[in-house]
Structure 1
């Protein structure tokens, strides 16, 4: 991980090729485990073929969307690979997504099939209209029965340019929007990241994040590319987190700052012990140096790797440990085979150390947003040399060696508790609450919590309760204030500086 890798990542492979290649090389090696069991690569591949056959029998064809709202288990991994084999498109949504947003996702994705937990079938069916909704329990019995068949149906033709996954993420509109993720670009991103991180066949990757988030989704692909084992721990209790990392023999632990803080707090309660962990990989937000140092102390010999990215290209840059002392404030260098640099308002590249918008070019840049041409045109623009250039909306600069330095966003996007979100979507949920005329959200800062302000006839506690029914837990503000009138700038926008003063006054 010292020098830039020279082996190119592929652009012409399909998502399920990663699984098939791993199965051919290490059929009896462990591939994936969860709280209920463990599969080898041979078993995972067999289940994925059964999913393909099951989808075929259900009438799911090439390009059809299959929406799943399921916990991150072995079955979901098989559904990912089986849907890829069918040439269909997996649409994984977070189990915490409330009906308020899920209804918009169903309308936007227009799935041919929805798979959810058994207790959710009736509720989801009510909002899905004519779309078939299947519970995972009965569906998995049918899939398991198909796995025992001797003769497999012929696989559907799948091209590297076909869409494999739609990843719904927050954006500049109230409803979630989906990043289009074709097979070839996902495989390129996976292999390019793998070249930097160096996943190995003896690695055990402890994944705390849902597959509906691209951070969790790509762990499925990275472990297959590395012939490693994936431990799905999204449903594990916080109290047993440290014990499970040790029991599973984890060697790689993906983190966000809040998870790292929790691990450090648990480790501080007991004496230092030997550990197999060799690598922590951080994303979602900047990891404080004190937290990184605490991880190294609790897990002797482990390295902490900084990463920077967006779903729209998966990963922008990685800072290998060899450069962390020399470039402690950098978010890394672009992935092998890609470019990332700063441009001015006219899109012209800026020299080192000059601040501008960070743009990204390379085979990992996704083609756009699903059924959102205006948003696609703003973010995904033709690159002068061909291909696409992703305008990230992030500002920063590069140094003379091409390493990136992140300085902040220009719009209303922010990350909180490792989750990307926008003020717009929270404000839209607030104005959906009866009694609220208008709403404004103040993003969290180092000295203040995520807060929502509302005009209207509503109790602040009631507003937070109503928001908890509409938003995922991480997106629910910690503080609510009801005001007579929201402060605005001369241009009619929410005056967030005034909101911050209001919050400070109320807190005092």
Structure 2
């Protein structure tokens, strides 16, 4: 059974205490750690950080692969009274330099090769760089903190695929309640083993650790090169839980799985974008015994909705209903709750809402605004900019981002609707649609898809003409064997538009 749902947040560094001390907490190339060992290691790293001459609230950046230290840093930094700034290991020096400067990090912990890649001026003023191996994970230990759950614990930077990266400020309570919520609605147990493949700089990537440890489950941090590496790891470690982004799920359903390995997985979760119906169907065929959780979230509020896996076959396009500790409203253009079937903006209120953007009051004011008057939680809410509909039973369906809508011949066209149709054709597994300037139409549609083209091009065009109205037909379909991805593994829409939108 999962732990009782406790709405009272604690400092995030208290999480290791939630597991039984002799339960297995972490498995990596260095061996195994039970929860008692995990607690000692977090205390040791916190003690080491406290010895570095830092002041309370100083930012500490980590630029690491999924090493043991990378798993300890979020909790050890918080325990030491500091603010953690995890940096995606796939980012390059210029992007890292921006994050260090913007956050005002006083300490950067990274591997030797990454530190050597930095150039003069990349380190923020008064920022000290230390090699990962110099950090002590044993010895003197610091006791769990007494931090205010509402105080700042971490700054997570967006991938930057849509412009200058923003630092989202997360409190202890944001991360603690996110762990409690996810562990509860997934039904995580002490016997589960979670293969952590998402970047630990990603909100849901960190939650892989937090929600597992809250429930007393084991985590296996895992960096992979090929999808087949993931399948091998599932078999080797008897993995029961796996989270991924849609492009990874596409790759994992395109490889062959032995029935014995596929049957080990009992919980599959999605993040970083909606799953097209053909992908859901492919996952159900590949992992017949697993519960598939379709979810929606945004870094500014972590996670918002989830669909009961029992409904995934009957309503695969739905993103479900609000998760515990989240209030989700569909707000129409008049500011009132949208009627069933009417598109409106998804607005998220409640204790999962982040503290805003780091040192960016202008952008904070655009996204973080007072909740509608009819909100039960009230207070500050995240206005997502995403358009959704709610049916008569309260289930939500994603429509698209308002700022990504294509305006062609007076029509507002959702890129995701066109992309879903392209994937539904069976001629491609991944697609990206966007608009380009057109004197006659205002915007014309470009559709970039993964595949070889040829006969598939003609078949895709026939399918789109049969299924979509004339105003939604792309002016051009561009076939590519590979599509650009951002550091979180999602399709890099900005790069795709830059390369093929001119």
* Shorter-chain TM-score range: 0.7 to 0.9
Give the deviation of 1:338 after TM superposition: 2.2
3-state SS in 1 of match to 2:214: helix
Partners in 2 of 1:161 and 1:178 — Cα distance? 17
Distance in 2 (alpha carbons) for counterparts of 1:249 and 1:221: 20
**Pick from 131, 134, 146: which aligns with 2:130?**
134
1:467-495 Cα distance to aligned partner (Å, 9 max, x none): x9x9888648468769xxxxxxxxxxxxx
In structure 2, the CA distance between the partners of 1:280 and 1:243, relative to structure 1 (3 Å rule), is same
| Residues 168 and 356, structure 2, Cα contact 8 Å, conserved in 1 | yes
TM alignment of 1:423-438, pairs within 5 A: none
CA gap 1:156/1:336 in 2 versus in 1, 3 angstroms: closer
Q: Measure the CA separation in 2 of the matches of 1:393 and 1:171.
A: 17
Is residue 35–residue 233 contact of structure 1 (8 Å, CA) maintained in 2? no
Alignment of 1:41 onto 2:18: no
Match of 2:14 in 1: 17
Matches within 5 A, 1:239-258: 239-258=228-247
Matches within 5 A, 1:239-318: 239-267=228-256, 275-318=263-306
Alignment partner of 1:32 out of 12, 21, 26 = 26
Q: Deviations over 1:53-96 (max 9, x none)?
A: 11111012321110111001221111221111112111001111
Change (3 A) 1:325 1:471: closer
Instruction: Tell me which residue corresponds to 1:366.
Output: 354
Equivalent residues of 2:108, 2:130 under 8 A apart: yes
Whether the 8 Å contact between 2:227 and 2:248 is mirrored in structure 1 is no
Shift in alpha-carbon separation, 1:443–1:120, aligned structure 2, 3 A: farther
Give the Cα separation in 1 of the matches to 2:95 and 2:299: 19
* 1:88 equivalent in alignment to 2:82: yes
| 1:50-449 matched pairs, under 5 angstroms | 50-124=44-118, 126=120, 127-128=122-123, 129-137=125-133, 139-140=134-135, 143-144=136-137, 147-149=138-140, 152=141, 157-170=146-159, 174-235=163-224, 237-267=226-256, 275-383=263-371, 384=373, 386-412=378-404, 445=447, 447=449
* Residue 241 of structure 1, CA deviation: 2.1
**How many Å separate the matches in 2 of 1:290 and 1:326?**
13
State the distance in 2 between where 1:307 and 1:98 align. 30
**Cα distance per residue 1:211-235 (max 9 Å; x no partner):** 0111211101011111101111124
Cα distance in 1 for partners of 2:176, 2:231 equals: 31
Cα gap change, 1:80/1:88 in structure 2, threshold over 3 Å: closer, same or farther? Answer: same
Q: 1:210, 1:274 → 2: CA distance?
A: 23
Aligned in 2, Cα 1:115/1:228: closer, same or farther, shift over 3 Å? same
- Please list every run of 5 or more consecutive structure 2 residues that lacks an aligned counterpart in the other structure: 406-414, 420-431, 435-443, 452-483
Residues 285-339 of structure 1: CA deviation (Å, up to 9, x unaligned): 2223333333333333112110110011111100011232443321010012321
Normalised to the residue count of structure 1, the TM-score between the two structures is: 0.77
Report the CA distance shift for 1:177/1:481 in structure 2 as closer, same or farther (over 3 A). closer
Structure 2: distance between partners of 1:6 and 1:335: 16
Q: Residues 344 and 479 (structure 1 numbering): CA distance in 2 closer, same or farther, change over 3 Å?
A: closer
Q: CA RMSD in A?
A: 3.4
What is the TM-score when the length of structure 2 is the normalising length?
0.78
In structure 2, C-alpha distance between the alignment counterparts of 1:365 and 1:124, rounded to whole Å: 34
1:267 match: secondary structure: coil
Runs of 5+ consecutive residues of structure 1 not aligned to the other structure: 424-441, 450-467, 483-498, 503-508
Secondary structure in structure 2 of the residue aligned to 1:292: helix
Residue 52 (structure 1) shift: 1.0
TM-aligned CA distance change 1:357 to 1:202, over 3 Å: same
Per-residue CA distance 1:26-57 (angstroms, 9 max, x = gap): 11211112344322111111111011111111
CA shift for structure 1 position 387: 1.5
Cα distance, 1:275–1:396 mapped onto 2, change above 3 Å: same
| Deviation at residue 271 of structure 1 after TM alignment | 6.2
The verdict on how the C-alpha distance between 1:168 and 1:445 changes in structure 2, with shifts beyond 3 A counting, is farther
Deviations 1:322-367 (A, max 9, x none): 2324433210100123211211234322122111111111111112
How far 1:393 sits from its partner (Å)? 0.6
| Contact 1:125–1:133 (CA under 8 A) maintained in structure 2 | no
Higher relative contact order (CA 8 A, sep 6+): 1
